[in-house]
Every structure is written in C-alpha cells, then in structure tokens.
Amino acid sequence: MKPPDLDLRLVLDVAPALICSGRPDSGVDYVNRRWLDEVGASPDGLEGWGWTNFIHPDDREEHLRRLHASVASGEPSVSEARVRTATGEYRWMRHHFQPLRDERGTVVRWTGSSIDVEEPKRAEGTLGSTERELRTILETIPAFVWTARPDGAIDFITGRLFVQTGLRKDETLMWEWAKVIHPEDRERVVQDWRDAIAAGRAPDQEMRVRGADGTYRWFLTRAVPLRDDKGAILRWYGTFTDIDARKRAEQELQKLKDQLYKENIALRDEVSQTSMFEEIVGSSAPLRRVLVLVSKVASTDSTVLITGETGTGKELVARAIHRRSPRASRPFVSVNCGAVPPTLITSELFGYDKGAFTGAAQRHLGRFELADGGTIFLDEAGELPQETQIALLRVLQERAFERVGGSQSIPVDVRVIAATNRDLDKAIADGAFRSDLYYRLSVFPIHVPPLRDRAEDIPLLVEYLTQRYAAKEGKRITEVSRRTMELLRSYDWPGNVRELQNVIQRAVILSEGTLAVDETWFARPAARAPGSARRLGRLSGREEKEWIESALARSRGRVSGPDGAAEALGIPRSTLESKIRSLHIDKHRFKAG
C-alpha cells in the first residue's frame, strides 16, 4: 500500500487535524501540511520515528510505550501527549492510531490523527485545582466525608480517616472498610447498607469503629443519594461523625436508670412482703436446727435449696440467709416460678431485647440482672419448664446469660437460693426435672419443718401475730382465750404458718380485748379428714393422682373456693394446680356439663 495519491493529499492537507501514516516496521513516511505547519518542521524531520522528538519529554516515554504496544497487538490506541509547536510552546493533543489490514487481515499500514485538546485540558486543570481546594476544605470539617458508587462501593474518604483508623487508602475502597467495624456491629451495618442500596434510601447508622491504637469509638454515619433526572442513583455522599462522648454519656445514664430500676423493684418486692411476718418466730428443736444451718451458710456464696411444704416460711429462711450474708446491702429479688406462665418465665428471669417478639417495644431487664450483686430467690423452682432449666444451669455454671432475642453474653454476680415443695427426686425420675440442675441447686439443702412438727412454737407465733395485726388495726388485744389456744394447738395446719397467719388476722378483726377464734373457721371434717395434706405427701405418684382426681370429681372440677378440691385436700390452691400440671390431670373433664 502506497502513501496517499496527490489528490487525496490535497484533501488531507486542509483537514482540521494532524494526520500521518506509515509502515509498522519503519515509522512515519507521510504527514499532512497541518503537521508541518503546527510543529514548524520539514517532512524529513518527521520521517521514521523523528516525529517523536516533538513530544514533550515528560510524555514521550509513556506515549511510545502505548504506541509500541498497539503495534505489537495490532489493536488501535488513543493517548494524550503534549506536542512542541512552531512557537516553541507545548500544546496537549489527543493521538489516535488505527491499523489498516489486507484481505488476509495482516496489518500493512498505520494511520494516525492528532487533535488539539489544549483548551479542554486547561479547563480540566482548573477543575482539578477547584477539586483540590474543595478536598482541602473537607479536611477541616469535624466529620469524615465519603463518597460511593451507585453499588455502594466506597471510592473516596477524607484523609483524616486514614489517620483515625490506621488503614491504607486501598483498604478503605470497595467493602474493605467494614473490617474496622466492631465484630458485634459489622453484620448489622453491612446488611443495613446493602438494604439501603437496594431501597435507594440509607438510614442513620451507629457503630463502633476500631482506631489506629486498637480501641473502639462510636461513630454515626449518614448518607444521601445523588440522582439523575430519571431518578437513577449516580452517587452516594455521606458523613462519618464521632459520637463516642455522647454514647458513653448515654450508657452511663442507662446504667443509672437500670440501677434505679433495680433498686425500685427490690424496694417494691420488700414492700410486698409486709403481709408476711418479718422474723422467724419459734424456739422448737426443729426450727433451731434450721437456724443453725442458716447461720453457717449465710456467710458463704453457696447455692441453697430450701425444701418444705407450702406456707412453712421458705422465703423467710431465704431472706434470713441474705440479710446475714456479705450481699445484705444489695438487692434480694424473689420470683415465684410457679406463678409465671411457662412461656414467659425465661424472659422474666433473663429479660429480653427490643424486637425479641411481638410487643417487645423496648429492652426489658430480667430478674437476674435486677439481682446483680445480690441474691435471687427462685420459689417453686420445681415448676420450671425444661428449656428454662437449661438456661438456669448455664447461669450457675458460667455466671452469664443471654437475654431472649439477644446474642450478647451478660456476666452476672448473683447468689441463687431456690425453694420447692415438690419431691424433686420423683420429678427427676419422671423426667420433669434435670438431675444436673438439681445437684447444682442443692449444694446446701435446708428442710423447713411443717408447723405440725413444731407445735410448741404455736403460742409464740400466736402472740407475735396477734400483736402485729392488733397494732395494724388500732386495737388492744390483751389475752388469748384458753379455748382458742387449745384449738390452735390441736389443729393440723395443712397450710402451715401462712394459714395460721390468716386465722389470727381474721380473729383480731373480730375480737375485742380477748383473741377468740371460731371452730367453724377450720376446714370441715366432712370435707377433709384430719392429716389429709400430710397423707397426700406420702402417696406414690399413681396414688396421689387418684386422690386428687377423686377430690376433683367431688368438687365437679372446682379447684379453689369453699367447695373446691384444694380445700378438701387441705392444700393451697397453687400447690394443687402445680400437682395437677405435673401429674397431667385434665381438671376440665370433671366439670358439670
């Protein structure tokens, strides 16, 4: 292929571009008049590779590298380089090189054109200067500024963030920035950001970020999208603000609120006990044995399991242990495990995080957190469902727990005192109670005797309770009738001290000067044989079930009230309900149609 013919050369000479052509192996062999006029040279000065002498020295090496790479690959190329003009100044030009091939596809010639782009480059330089100025301004803003592509990949961050985090620039681009986020926050932050990209709306996010010194500080990030006229996202712009001081202040305030809440709960719990006598009253040998055990275990941190019938004062024993322990100045938190529905007992004990379930609008502290540093009393612990037993076992073993719906392990320093009126050995055999939990709870067992086994304490209890309730009612009771004392001492007291307490309170209300009780206040003989509660406790599981079902049949399924099965059996309603659940008795089948 030959250089352009004469007519074509005339056309090329007036073209508004610098045009050249040449063979692949010998450089340029033709340039148009515009080339010659632009650089002020003769054709001989541009032949071969001589034309490259007019390329700015700073641009020449890169320009030739691109040209040789294009020749070697046979692919066209575009590059920008400054060219020395006839006046001696350099002007920016964009150089295009295109291969010409024969019918076999072999490159036989190259053509080139160079276009003056000096004005656009100057404008670009002005914009570059403006951009540098803007970036300098950004570095003075107290927040870190960042930008991201539409897909969320970070492509710019102000330089101060590199100093703050110790990251290199290449580590902050794309998604690499996430590695400095606290492990507990990272998954949430990244997922929220991905959701924001998909939705086109970014939420404010709070997160802990690791600094160059290895410590974490709280930051708030905010982002807004830049959209085109069709609503498509062109770019994301965001700020990153240090809020560590504010977050720490909020956390301290929350700690104070939690502590106040704990103390309030503990105080209300104490106030709720005003219906029970505050001291353990009596001097009988069985009671003295209990008090000796209390004095020995109180100063330790051992877990205590208190057993005994309903109404014997197991909680009073637990409180006595707490008051005589090094934890006496800290909370005593009581939980009746049998009174809380099985589906709620876990969240009652361990609390729950916001959003853990429907209706969980905010975080709720569990009883273990409220008792931190003090003592938790688990009354009717034998009623705990299996899943809660597992969680309780973990607390006893690891001294830590997780809130319902939470993933954070919360350490806790709590002494556990449990109580039950159930036969736990039988419950273990029936598979209703875990043996490993039983051994953890019964490190130091204390059995509280029923009132019938310490009848000699009844006169002291009667005197104490009489004076207490008389003061409350504004009355003056000076004595107890002989008949009343005989009735009180001879009665079996299936409800134990709690039942005695109720009888004395009723008698004080109705008496003037001398305390008197009515024989009809006690359970009717026809409804319950003397000692029925004691007998119930000695039956096997099958016999106990038959005994309860018989009472339910007579009461037509009624559990409480004067004609209820609990009254007939001589046991509290809560105890009977507990036994009905544990023995899988359907009380509804006894109801009248």
**Over the stretch 228-281, which tens digit does the pLDDT of each residue have?**
888 888 888 888 788 888 888 887 777 766 666 655 555 545 444 433 334 688
Rounded distance between C-alpha atoms, residue 582 and residue 421, angstroms: 13
For 167, the token pair is 């990251």
Q: Are 532 and 570 in contact (CB under 8 A)?
A: yes
pLDDT score at 377: 95
> 342-364, pLDDT tens digit by residue?
888 888 888 887 766 666 657 77
- Which three-class secondary structure string do you get for 472-525? HHCCCCCEECHHHHHHHHHCCCCCHHHHHHHHHHHHHHHCECEECCCHHHCCCC
Residue 299 is given by DSSP the state T
> 498, 521, 544 — which closes off a domain?
521
Q: Flag whether pLDDT at 29 surpasses 50.
A: yes
Q: Flag whether pLDDT at 378 surpasses 90.
A: yes
Q: Which of 17-26, 168-177, 345-354, 518-527 has the lowest mean pLDDT?
A: 518-527
pLDDT score at 301: 93
Same structural domain, 514 and 561: no
- 364 vs 533, higher pLDDT: 364
- 197 vs 418, higher pLDDT: 418
Dihedral pair phi/psi, residue 426, rounded to 5°: -70, -40
Q: What is the mean pLDDT of residues 557-579?
A: 78
Residue 2 is given by DSSP the state P
Q: Which domain holds residue 506?
A: 451-521
Q: Flag whether pLDDT at 41 surpasses 70.
A: yes
CATH number at residue 473: 1.10.8.60
Q: What is the mean pLDDT of residues 147-176?
A: 72
Same structural domain, 336 and 436: yes
Q: What is the mean pLDDT of residues 136-158?
A: 70
CATH number at residue 397: 3.40.50.300
Same structural domain, 349 and 371: yes
- 43 vs 54, higher pLDDT: 54
Q: What is the mean pLDDT of residues 149-176?
A: 71
Residue 59 falls in which region: left (phi positive, over 0), alpha (psi -120 to 50) or beta: alpha
Same structural domain, 59 and 169: no
Same structural domain, 383 and 267: yes
Q: Flag whether pLDDT at 531 surpasses 80.
A: no
Q: Are 63 and 55 in contact (CB under 8 A)?
A: yes
Same structural domain, 542 and 557: yes
Beta bridge partners of residue 111, listed in sequence order: 21, 98
Whether 128 is covered by a domain: the verdict is no
Same structural domain, 321 and 395: yes
pLDDT score at 209: 86
Rounded distance between C-alpha atoms, residue 176 and residue 165, angstroms: 12
Same structural domain, 429 and 467: no
Q: Which of 143-147, 306-310, 393-397, 458-462 has the lowest mean pLDDT?
A: 143-147
Give the torsion sign (CA, 519, 522, 525, 529).
negative
How many CB atoms are located within 10 Å of the residue 391 CB? 17
Q: Are strands 415-420 and 410-411 parallel, antiparallel or unpaired?
A: unpaired
Whether 248 is covered by a domain: the verdict is no
Encoded amino acid at 528, one letter: R
158's CB contacts (< 8 A; 6+ apart) are 135, 138, 139, 141, 144, 145, 146
508's CB contacts (< 8 A; 6+ apart) are 466, 469, 470, 473, 475, 477, 515
Whether 134 is covered by a domain: the verdict is no
Whether 125 is covered by a domain: the verdict is no
Q: Are 93 and 81 in contact (CB under 8 A)?
A: yes
Q: Flag whether pLDDT at 435 surpasses 50.
A: yes
Q: What total of structural domains would you count in the chain?
A: 5
Q: Which of 77-91, 213-227, 467-481, 518-532 has the lowest mean pLDDT?
A: 518-532
Q: Which helix (H) or strand (E) holds 210?
A: strand 205-210
Q: Are 80 and 66 in contact (CB under 8 A)?
A: no
Same structural domain, 291 and 440: yes
pLDDT score at 278: 47
Q: Flag whether pLDDT at 174 surpasses 50.
A: yes
Encoded amino acid at 434, one letter: R
Q: Which of 52-61, 307-316, 527-536, 574-583 has the lowest mean pLDDT?
A: 527-536
For 140, the token pair is 């003075």
> 502, 521, 540 — which closes off a domain?
521
Same structural domain, 516 and 538: no
For 115, the token pair is 């276009």
Same structural domain, 455 and 442: no
Same structural domain, 89 and 172: no
Residue 36 falls in which region: left (phi positive, over 0), alpha (psi -120 to 50) or beta: alpha
Beta bridge partners of residue 418, listed in sequence order: 305, 378
Average pLDDT, the chain: 81
> 447, 471, 503 — which closes off a domain?
447
Whether 537 is covered by a domain: the verdict is yes
Whether 251 is covered by a domain: the verdict is no
Q: What is the mean pLDDT of residues 180-185?
A: 87
Rounded distance between C-alpha atoms, residue 359 and residue 403, angstroms: 15
Whether 167 is covered by a domain: the verdict is yes
Q: What is the mean pLDDT of residues 532-554?
A: 69
Whether 506 is covered by a domain: the verdict is yes
Q: Which of 192-201, 433-442, 533-542, 578-587 has the highest mean pLDDT?
A: 433-442
pLDDT score at 392: 92
pLDDT score at 438: 94
How many CB atoms are located within 10 Å of the residue 406 CB? 17
Rounded distance between C-alpha atoms, residue 390 and residue 345, angstroms: 13
How many CB atoms are located within 10 Å of the residue 436 CB? 13
pLDDT score at 523: 55
pLDDT score at 129: 53
Q: Flag whether pLDDT at 28 surpasses 60.
A: yes
Q: What is the mean pLDDT of residues 417-431?
A: 90
Residue 54 is given by DSSP the state G
CATH number at residue 76: 3.30.450.20
Please tell me the pTM assigned to this model. Answer: 0.48
Q: What is the mean pLDDT of residues 395-400?
A: 91
DSSP string, 445-472: EEEPPPGGGGGGGHHHHHHHHHHHHHHH
Report the candidate in 288, 522, 488, 330 with the shortest Cα–Cα distance to residue 415. Answer: 330
DSSP tally for the chain: helices H, then strands E: 23, 19
> 285-303, pLDDT tens digit by residue?
888 899 999 999 999 999 9
Q: What percent of the chain has pLDDT over 70?
A: 84
